[in-house]
């Protein structure tokens, strides 16, 4: 019986539609990386083509990871005048927008990084996030990664972005409302409630590691979406310990590989789900990362309903990802901790 269900996402309170009958309409175009008009400003030797370095790893010697302000920022820290006619309806777009150049290698990506390097990247994200969360007036910090044209990226060199906003924004707000409501109702953090169910049901699990778990969410917003969540760490990503980050990095790397291979796409977004800065140590606070292969369309149904229509059943996606991991583990002779 093909999957044909409304499914409720506890993180957002939104019903999505999973319709396997739509599979025949899904584009098979794998997508591509963006092309630059000139030399890459993120490659070693082109440092003068970006804004000044905010942070680098290692702190001395040739950088392996480098953080700069976005040359084309959505938000700026300095206050600017707004046009007279917008007074009352507009405020200066005060905030921060940083680019974290993840590697010296133009063609590298998360799936090809040495694990130690990915851990260093996550540590740098943690460091910048902690700094941005502590800035006065910052309501939300968003962390994301765009890869490939279909993800919205204009830059092929691997990089992550952090943006800090000083106004309320809807997606983190509605998620926080659900987190608080669930904590009050269940006496447990919403992520724990979700993970307890997923670990019991097994169907959507991709991998269970010592520190982190990857799974295809029950009510996905995109085909072959994967969540990577810490098993125990709560609060904000900025408070994650080194052991958590190391275990998380390994599961994240395999989740990205699996999501791209099963979806047949090269474009994807990583999205960090984080609590509002003012509630980052609240008992209801948690974090996880979504891996979202991109290439589908947002058409009239999504625009009119505000919800998602996906063709790939998450149970089938997870099963395909587990099979892939089993093949890989057998191929290398490594012990498999994939379910």
- Residues 102-131: x where in contact with Zn ion by CB under 5 A, - otherwise, as a string: ----x-------------------------
C-alpha 219/C-alpha 6 separation (Å) is 8
- Taking the complex as a whole, how short is the minimal distance between the CB of residue 319 and Zn ion, in angstroms? 37
**Residue 174, C-beta contacts closer than 8 angstroms, at least 6 positions apart:** 12, 13
Taking the least distance from each CB to Zn ion, the nearer of 103 and 244 is 103
What angle separates helix 190-201 from helix 170-186, to the nearest 10 degrees?
A: 70
Is the alpha carbon torsion for 18, 224, 234, 68 positive or negative? Answer: negative
Task: Answer whether 141's CB lies under 8 Å from 162's CB.
Answer: yes
Tell me if 63 contacts Zn ion by CB under 5 A: no
Residue nearest to Zn ion (CB): 40
Q: Assign 65 to helix, strand or coil.
A: strand
- Work out whether 33 is an interface residue with Zn ion (CB under 5 A): no
Q: Which of 26, 40, 82, 324 lies at the binding interface for Zn ion (CB under 5 A)?
A: 40
Instruction: Decide if residue 147 touches Zn ion (CB under 5 A).
Output: no
Give the interface segment with Zn ion, choosing from 33-41, 204-212, 230-238, 275-283 (CB under 5 A): 33-41
Is position 248 an interface residue for Zn ion (rule: CB under 5 A)?
A: no
User: Closer CB to Zn ion, residue 102 or residue 290?
Assistant: 102
Kindly state the DSSP code that residue 90 receives in the 8-state scheme: B
Q: Candidates 22-30, 38-46, 68-76, 320-328: pick the segment binding Zn ion (CB under 5 A).
A: 38-46
The residue within the footprint of Zn ion, chosen from 157, 183, 234, 265 (CB under 5 A), is 157
3-state helix, strand, coil in the chain (%, to 5): 35, 20, 45
Return the SS3 of 271: strand
137 token code pair? 């007036």
Q: Quick one: 113 or 131, whose CB is closer to Zn ion?
A: 113
Distance CA 329, CA 336 (A): 6
Shortest gap between Cβ of 118 and Zn ion (angstroms)?
Answer: 18
The single residue among 43, 75, 93, 199 that binds Zn ion, judged by CB under 5 A, is 43
Residues that bind Zn ion (CB under 5 A): 40, 42-43, 106, 157
């Amino acid at each position: 019986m093909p999957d044909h269900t409304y499914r409720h996402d506890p993180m957002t309170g939104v019903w999505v539609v999973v319709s396997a009958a739509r599979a025949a309409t899904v584009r098979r175009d794998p997508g591509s990386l963006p092309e630059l008009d000139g030399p890459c400003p993120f490659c070693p030797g082109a440092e003068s083509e970006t804004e000044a370095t905010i942070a680098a790893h290692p702190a001395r010697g040739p950088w392996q990871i480098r953080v700069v302000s976005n040359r084309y920022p959505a938000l700026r820290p300095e206050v600017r005048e707004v046009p007279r006619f917008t007074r009352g309806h507009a405020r200066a777009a005060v905030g921060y927008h940083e680019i974290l150049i993840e590697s010296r290698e133009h063609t590298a990506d998360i799936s090809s990084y040495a694990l130690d390097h990915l851990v260093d990247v996550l540590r740098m994200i943690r460091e910048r996030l902690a700094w941005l969360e502590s800035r006065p007036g910052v309501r939300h910090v968003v962390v994301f990664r765009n890869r490939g044209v279909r993800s919205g990226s204009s830059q092929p060199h691997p990089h992550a972005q952090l943006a800090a906003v000083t106004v309320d924004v809807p997606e983190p707000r509605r998620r926080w409302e659900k987190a608080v409501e669930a904590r009050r109702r269940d006496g447990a953090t919403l992520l724990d409630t979700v993970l307890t169910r997923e670990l019991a049901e097994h169907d959507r699990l991709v991998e269970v590691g010592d520190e982190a778990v990857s799974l295809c969410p029950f009510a996905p917003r995109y085909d072959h979406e994967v969540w990577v969540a810490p098993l125990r760490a709560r609060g904000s990503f900025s408070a994650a310990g080194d052991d958590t980050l190391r275990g998380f990095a390994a599961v994240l790397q395999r989740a990205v590989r699996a999501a791209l291979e099963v979806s047949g796409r090269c474009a994807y977004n990583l999205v960090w789900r984080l609590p509002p800065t003012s509630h980052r140590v609240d008992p209801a606070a948690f974090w996880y990362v979504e891996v979202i292969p991109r290439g589908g369309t947002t058409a009239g149904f999504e625009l009119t309903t505000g919800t998602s229509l996906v063709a790939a059943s998450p149970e089938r996606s997870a099963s395909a990802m587990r099979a892939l991991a089993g093949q890989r583990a057998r191929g290398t002779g490594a012990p498999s901790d994939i379910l």
